[in-house]
Amino acid sequence: MFEEVGTTTEGDIIINVGPQHPATHGVLHLVITLNGETIKKVEPHLGYIHRSIEKMCESLSYRQFIYVTSRMDYLSSHINNHACALCVEKGLQVEVPPRAQVIRVLMDELTRIASHELWWGAMAMDLGAFTPFFHAFRERESINDIMEETCGARLTMNYMVPGGVMQDLHPNFQKKVKEFMQLYKRKIHEYDELVTGNIIFQNRMKNVGYLSAEDAVSYGCSGPAARGSGVSCDIRKIYPYEIYDKLEFDEVLETGGDSFARYMVRIREMQQSIRIIEQLIDNIPEGDFQAKTKAVLKLPKGEFYTRVETARGELGVYIVSEGGTTPYRIKFRSPGFSNLSVLDHIARGSKLGDLVAMMGTLDLVIPDIDR
């Protein structure tokens, strides 16, 4: 099987999808070997948007390097910042005030919803339906407005700092979030009517891009891509950080392993995020939003690792400190990279039109793959 579809013979067409192509959201370059319409091999070529973020972080202080990470997975910048802040706090042994913890979780979950909304629209657009994209942006826009009020930014938030969050919540925050949740609940049925229940959509997604649980583990998949294959890997559940262990929410698992299962995981995850926000929005404790930390942070000599669940999967931050004010070496384990590596495996033997659907369900954000 592997040799049969994986080898290039005469008469095969080799096409370059990207780095400028409407199917790849960003500058991903795929070299695809085709036999007619059937895919024989997919070879991702990376490096078009490599900014050497890890190297840059080595010359930045522990307060500064967090801001660079917003540019990695720009759709879940809060969660990237959160992971870095957690890692620095682990080194500093700082206790984060309860108010800051709740704010962080709220922001993370709002980010997750916003990210999944964008994914939903882009995914439908990959399949040739334009309208869902605009419907998704309608809800995402109100999340962006909430973020803008509190953080001052709409995409690269830079809100999480070591020891808490940068500033207190905007007075309108609770009201706006409640309004958003009402809007979301009123509109969520449109998602099912427009896309999920559509017969063409289901035919395009079901039994396509099958990823078994074993393969998901061996390729290092995480996040919704792995949970669609039934692999329990939600970091919020298995290695809880902040207050996630005190919250009531379910880890979304689907056993189908195909594109539709991965799709459903994200759709259901949005509802779980809503559930988390509902528990927290009226229970934000009073108190400090930031722990007292020194002006110049120095991590003790040693190695520190934290992991969080971003909208795409597991993000690991690994800091090696020599005891100075800047990290000696920093390494990010980004979810997109390992999720991309599985693309060749699941795409072989399927049709060209399905490749974009599979890329959609893997939810690839190119700057996250190519740091």
Partner 1 sequence: MWSFSNIANNLHKWLSETFNPTMTLIIEMVLAGVAVIGLFAALGLVLVIMERKVSAWMQIRLGPNRVGPKGMLQSLADTLKLLVKEGLTPNGADKLLFNLAPFVAMIVAMLLMAPIAFAKDFQLWDLNIGVLYVSAISSIMVISILMAGWASNNKYSLMGAMRSGAQIVSYELSAGLSILAVVVMTGSLQVSDIIHSQADGWWIFKGHIPMVVAFITFIIAVTAETNRAPFDLAEAESELTAGFHTEYSGMKFALFFLAEYVNVFIVCAIGATLFLGGWMPFHIGNWTQFNHVMDYIPSSIWFFGKTFFLIFVIMWFRWTFPRLRIDQLLNLEWKYLLPISMINLLIVTAMAILKWHF
Contacting positions for partner 1 (CB under 8 A):
13, 15, 21-23, 37, 124-131, 133-135, 138, 194-195, 198, 200-201, 203-204, 351-356
Least distance from partner 1 to the Cβ atom of residue 49, Å: 20
Nearer to partner 1, 124 or 343 (CB): 124
Reduced to 3 states, what is the DSSP secondary structure of residue 122? helix
Phi, psi (deg, nearest 5) at residue 336: -65, -35
Least distance from partner 1 to the Cβ atom of residue 247, Å: 34
Would you say 146 and 110 are in contact if contact means Cβ atoms under 8 Å apart?
yes
Nearer to partner 1, 22 or 171 (CB): 22
> Measuring CA to CA, which residue among 117, 111, 143 is closest to residue 132?
117
Nearer to partner 1, 35 or 293 (CB): 35
Nearer to partner 1, 25 or 236 (CB): 25
Nearer to partner 1, 164 or 360 (CB): 360
What sign has the CA pseudo-torsion 80, 88, 163, 50? negative
Least distance from partner 1 to the Cβ atom of residue 296, Å: 49
Least distance from partner 1 to the Cβ atom of residue 150, Å: 26
Least distance from partner 1 to the Cβ atom of residue 178, Å: 22
CA distance 185 to 344: 37
CA distance 198 to 142: 26
Would you say 25 and 122 are in contact if contact means Cβ atoms under 8 Å apart?
yes
Nearer to partner 1, 96 or 357 (CB): 357
- The alpha-carbon radius of gyration of the chain (Å, integer) is 21
Residue listed under structure tokens 């024989």: 40
β pairing state of 302-309 and 314-321: antiparallel
Least distance from partner 1 to the Cβ atom of residue 202, Å: 10
- Centroid of chain to Cα 77: 9
Least distance from partner 1 to the Cβ atom of residue 143, Å: 17
Least distance from partner 1 to the Cβ atom of residue 21, Å: 6
CA distance 23 to 31: 13
Nearer to partner 1, 197 or 285 (CB): 197
Give 59: exposed, middle or buried? Use CB within 10 Å, 0-12, 13-18, 19+.
exposed
Q: Residue 370: CA atoms inside 13 Å, Cβ hemisphere, count?
A: 17
Nearer to partner 1, 203 or 232 (CB): 203
Cis geometry, peptide bond prior to residue 97 (ω within 30 degrees of 0)? no
Nearer to partner 1, 34 or 56 (CB): 34
Least distance from partner 1 to the Cβ atom of residue 8, Å: 15
Nearer to partner 1, 40 or 112 (CB): 40
Give 19: exposed, middle or buried? Use CB within 10 Å, 0-12, 13-18, 19+.
middle
Q: Tokens for 199, please give them.
A: 């017969």
Least distance from partner 1 to the Cβ atom of residue 201, Å: 5
Would you say 250 and 369 are in contact if contact means Cβ atoms under 8 Å apart?
no
> Measuring CA to CA, which residue among 116, 122, 187, 114 is closest to residue 153?
114
